[in-house]
Each structure stands twice: as C-alpha cells, then as structure tokens.
Chain A
Amino acid sequence: MRSGSNLEQALESGRFAVTAEIGPPRSASAERIRTHARQMKGCADAFNLTDNQTAMSRMSSIACAVVLLQDGLEPVVQMTCRDRNRIALQGDVLGASALGVRNILCLSGDHQTFGSMKEAKNVYDLDSIQLLMVLRRMRDEGKLWSGDELEVAPKLFLGAAANPFADPFEYRVIRLAKKIKAGADFIQTQSIYDMQRFERWMSLVREKGLHQKVHILAGVMPLKSHKTALYMKNKVSGMCVPDSIIDRLRRASDPKEEGIQMCVEQIQHLRDIEGIRGVHIMAPAWEEKVPEIVRRAGLSSIS
C-alpha cells in the first residue's frame, strides 16, 4: 500500500471502485460542500474536488477536501499546473497530506482563457506528467524535487487523467504510458459517450498491457438535455458525443430521466470491458443524482 487510502484499497482488492466529482462552490461558506457530503456519503469510495474548475476561482480543493474528511468522506484532491509553480504545489501537497489527504489527481488544467479572468497570467511551470514525477519523488524518496530531504514524506495515491477522445488518437495511448512511467497509480478518463472509440482505445491499452500497470476508472457524466449534449459536442474541446445520444435525449419525454438512464446503461457496459477497474461519475451541479445512479447501476455494495 502506497497511501492506505480507501480508493487504493478498493482498487487493489480488485473490487469495482466508484469515484464521484464534487464541484467546490464560488463561496466562502462550506455549507454546500457539507450538503453534498451528506447526500453522497457512502455512494463512492472517494470524491474528487475540482481545482478552480474552468479557470474560475472557487473554494480551494484542499480546503473542500478537509471539509469532506471531517464528515467522514474520502477526498481526491485535483491539482492543476495552471495556477501554481512547483514550489507552491509541493508545499500544498505537504499541507494536504498533513490534513489527511491521500489521493491526488495531477492535471494540466483548463487554460485560463476559458474562465472569467482571461487576462490572468498562467504558470505551467510543470505539466501534469512532471507533477506526477515530482509527487512520486516526494512519496518514494522522501525528497522535494530539488533533492532536499523531507522530515516526513507524504503518503500519496497518485492519479492522472486520460482523454481517449482528444487527438491525435494514436498518441493517446503513448501518453497514458508516459503518465504511468511518471508515477500514475490510477487514471480517471474524460466522460465517455462514444463507446466505440473508447473500446478502440481500450484495446490499444490492453495490447500494451497498460491495464495491468494502472487502475483505470472510466469517466461518465449524465446529460440533462439534448442541448447539454450539443454543447458538449460543439463547445467542449476533446469531447465526442455521438448523434445517437443527442437524438435519444431530444426524443425523450423526460430528458433528465433519460440522461440518468443512459448514464446507468453506460456504467453497466463499461463494467464489462476488460481493464476497467471502476467508474468516475461527474455530475456538475447535479451531484445529488449520483447516489441514484450508483444504486441503479448496481454498484451499491460500497463500504
């Protein structure tokens, strides 16, 4: 065990794991995080806290993680390379670890021109792969990247993202391999709608034996309407949404219910793909639906 986190235990035991995403509020009150915690407790092994998602300032992912810990939920702290240099990132990881955070997801981060403060200066001192290298050294060698010894090394379970729907397609598996080489213990994928492309990617992953070197959690995101689906398809870079999904939502009498049902079906399908060790559910501003999705997908056996 590298970190002893729930998530690590679940994945190492071979049980199909569930993680879910919680979006920190644009607020100085943690009330909404506590509400989400109450709603979602017990429905997943760990809960991702996004890091200033879409490049907009929100409550810090580490602060939210501590709120979750107080309520007995296990956090996955997302860290992007957009806003902090290696000095701040390593310092924050030490602090997070001291407060009980074990799972860290290393990301490059959305470019700040997506957010409400486009004119901000970005950092990108490291990229996501380099952040993995740095955090692995902290954990395994008990050293900062500079080589300075740490008094106590952090216990970390290191995650990274993979997007099988971005281009160039053939490179996506090479990039996954690179992330594993750099220190990723688990992978959460971009939300999957184009099942064919995902399976094509997974077969390349298996061909290289990567599914045996890393725990892959397949990402899903329930859609509220065909308009949301169209937005995902047209406006979100690195997203594939097949027309059949958009049509199904357009035809549905209750699109929200249809979206949930589709998500449940996707989870059931993904579960049977060789090499998939769990599912990562992202329902931004719709977090309260996650327990229902988990139950309906038959994943309610979680601790």
Chain B
Amino acid sequence: MIVGEQKPLEEIFRMLSGHERILVAGCRSCVAVCHAGGEKEVSILAEALRLRASLANHPWKVEEITVERQCEREWVEAMGPLVKGKDAVLSLACGVGAQTVQVLYPRIRVLPGLNTSHMGAPDMPGVFVEKCGGCGDCLLHLTGGICPIARCAKSLLNGPCGGSQNGRCEISPEVPCAWDQIVRSLEAMGRSDLLEEPIPPKSWLTARDGGPRRTVIPTAVISEEQRKMKGERP
C-alpha cells in the first residue's frame, strides 16, 4: 500500500490562506489504512479547520467527502456536485489521488494535505515500513524475499556493506540491515548459494530513471468505439 502522513496543521493553514470554500477530500484506500486520509481523518481535519477559522477569523467554509479511491476517475467524478463552487480541494489522498482530482477539476486549486511517504506495510499496529522501491524489475527471488532497493540504505545489490553490525544498518541503530536479513533468509531456505554470484549492474530503465512510467494492459484497453458506447470521455 501507499503510506502517507498528514502535513503539520501549520503548513495546511498556510496553504489554505486566501481560500474560502474548501472541500476536504479523503480516500478510503491505502491512506485510510495508515490513518492519514480516511473518513475519520477527514472529519478530524475538517473540524480542526473550522475551529481555526473561527479563532483566526478565516473565511473558510469547510465541507468534507471521502471517496473509495481518489486515484480513479470514476470515483473522483462522483465528487463533482461537492467540488462545484469550491475554490480549493484539500486532498488527503496520496499524491496520485490529489493529481487525479486536479486533472478532473482543472480550475480548482488542489492542495496536498498529505506527504506521500513510501510503498510499505504495517510492521505492527501504527508502524509502517517501506518495502518496495518500485524499480520495475523485481529481484526478490534472488534476495530471499527482501527488497534491497527499498530496504538497504545504499540500495546495494551485492551487500551487506562494511557498515552492517549486529544486524543493524550503519545509518542508524533503529534501521535493520536489509542484507543481514537477506543473508539469514537465504540461509533459512537453504539457498545461500545465491549469495555467491555477483549480481551485475541493474538496468534502471524500468525504474523512475527511465522516465515517467506507463503500464499498458492490452486486455484491459478498450477501443474508441467501445469508449463511445460507454459514454466515456476520450
């Protein structure tokens, strides 16, 4: 899932200054799971904004909505009636959701209420850990199911480096050494042999370095005619 964290209220107040009719828009997917932008967080933030408006004499009129997935046009289109007449949408979705809203409502200013942090998973309740670097060329089969690109501070493919000590990364005792975990994982599955072969330089072409990425699923692509039949915009 995509993990995000709400921006400090101070920053949100600054972004909103100069706006009047505000829609706080949440998302029920990833960011709801990480307690950052679901229905509950939307209601709390909206209430905080109303309090702030009264106390600091801001003309803010705050309404709220939470949709199923803010990254998909269909759900964001359904926000239409509430977006109408607003001059800012404070998006509590990830950056993807915020951009989808902006594309559909180009005249309205979409403000990010969250910082989108990483792709991760809950390690324990309330703790979310980055797990995937989204490099576009997965090599978990070589690394015992632990991603060195996301989990090693240096994204080493032939680690662990000389800074690994007692299973901890050199950057901080709080950070586990990914390669220490990889070595142990491969040992446990009896595949330590995979550690012996140097992994050659990786192609980053499939990663962000290759330019913005676009994934096409041929079976899901529909023709112009089908699109018209469905009444969708081109």
Contact = CB atoms under 8 A, between A and B. Distances in A.
B180 interface: yes
Contacts of A174: 192, 195-196
A238 interface: yes
Interface string B53-85: 000000000000000000000000000000000
A127 B158 contact: yes
A24 B172 CA distance: 27
Interface string A126-144: 1111100110000000000
A178 B196 contact: yes
B164 A167 contact: yes
A163 B177 CA distance: 16
Contacts of B158: 127-130, 175, 178, 182
B154 A166 contact: no
Interface string B144-174: 0000000001111111111111111111100
Contacts of B231: none
Nearest to A168: B183
Given A167-B165, A167-B167, A174-B196, A122 B154 contact: yes
B187 to A, nearest CB: 9
Nearest to A164: B162
B201 interface: yes
Contacts of A167: 160, 164-167, 177, 180
A126 B158 CA distance: 10
Contacts of B166: 167
A26 B149 CA distance: 32
A113 B175 CA distance: 13
A108 B163 CA distance: 10
Given A86-B201, A108-B162, A168-B180, 12 more contacts: A108-B156, A111-B171, A114-B171, A127-B155, A130-B198, A162-B162, A167-B177, A174-B196, A190-B162, A237-B164, A238-B163, A238-B164
Complex A-B, nearest 8 residue pairs according to Cβ-Cβ distance, in ascending order: A163-B162, A237-B170, A129-B158, A237-B163, A127-B156, A130-B201, A238-B162, A182-B198
Interface of B: 153-172, 177, 180, 183-184, 192, 195-201, 204
Interface of A: 81-82, 86, 108-111, 113-114, 122, 124-130, 133-134, 145, 161-163, 165-168, 171, 174-175, 177-178, 181-182, 190, 237-238
